Structure 1
């Protein structure tokens, strides 16, 4: 019986899925970068022998466009290609960076915290109102306080 790694490798080597192999190689390559650089990168791809990095923020663009970072990436690329002889990344001639403006899949869902108000009153007070309408309102308030106390328990 063949294991999952063998089957996935067979699928990646299929010419019909050459784009999938290219993307998986780009993902492996980005894992070689430092964690700080990985956090700046949304995704990467190869087109016309140019390695494109889509970045999450303009400050990431400033950081990665520095000469020392570009030379570090090119050095890692040489090492990666020396280990993986049949890699599509071996044909890379240039590296370019850009900021991806509309990344819908990277937005985090905002979770609103549930606001819990604990009732400070126990609903035990003397209703001294003389007007029957005001008396009824205070009694309605007393009932709501007691209902909140029961709901929080």
Structure 2
């Protein structure tokens, strides 16, 4: 009787599941070779066109990565039994994804300005000019309309 580990390894050997094998090799490489600091700075790793890509969280990591990328390829080539697909890669590159480089939009919140009327609309209209008197009465009505209803 075959155990589950053996069955999974047979499945990974199938060409349909080659990506699972590569993913396992990448996880093994991360755990065995990369320091905890480097593991923390990497968002994800993937393979494309014989190149191992490292997606970094910060542009400074890409500069630091330039010093170690040849060592990474050499390490992968030294252990072809551990990394059968990764040992055939020719190059390693680091980049920062666009969504991290893009400035984050500043959330805009509308400030609703509300001023409550302090006047109660109770005042004596001393105006003798009929036009000004009418304007003061319109003002009184507007003040009374804006008063909260007291129940």
TM-score w.r.t. structure 2 length? Answer: 0.57
Residue by residue, what CA displacement relative to the aligned partner does 1:29-72 show, whole Å, maximum 9, x if unpaired? 12222222111112111111111111122222122122xx1232
Residue pairs, 1:2-151, within 5 angstroms: 2-31=2-31, 32-66=33-67, 69-81=68-80, 83-84=81-82, 87-102=84-99
- Consecutive unaligned residues of structure 2, counting only runs of 5 or more, are 101-151
TM-score w.r.t. structure 1 length? Answer: 0.57
Query: Could you tell me how far apart the structure 1 residues matched to 2:99 and 2:2 are?
Result: 41
- Consecutive unaligned residues of structure 1, counting only runs of 5 or more, are 104-153
1:18 deviates by: 1.1
SS in 2 for 1:2: coil
SS in 2 for 1:46: strand
| Aligned positions, number | 99
Query: Could you tell me how far apart the structure 1 residues matched to 2:88 and 2:70 are?
Result: 17
1:10 deviates by: 1.5
Query: Could you tell me how far apart the structure 2 residues matched to 1:7 and 1:39 are?
Result: 32
1:9 deviates by: 0.8
Over the aligned positions, Cα root-mean-square deviation in angstroms equals 2.0
Query: Could you tell me how far apart the structure 2 residues matched to 1:95 and 1:13 are?
Result: 24
Q: Which has the higher helix share?
A: 1
1:94 deviates by: 0.9
SS in 2 for 1:73: helix
After TM superposition, where is structure 1 displaced by more than 4 Å over at least 4 residues in a row? none
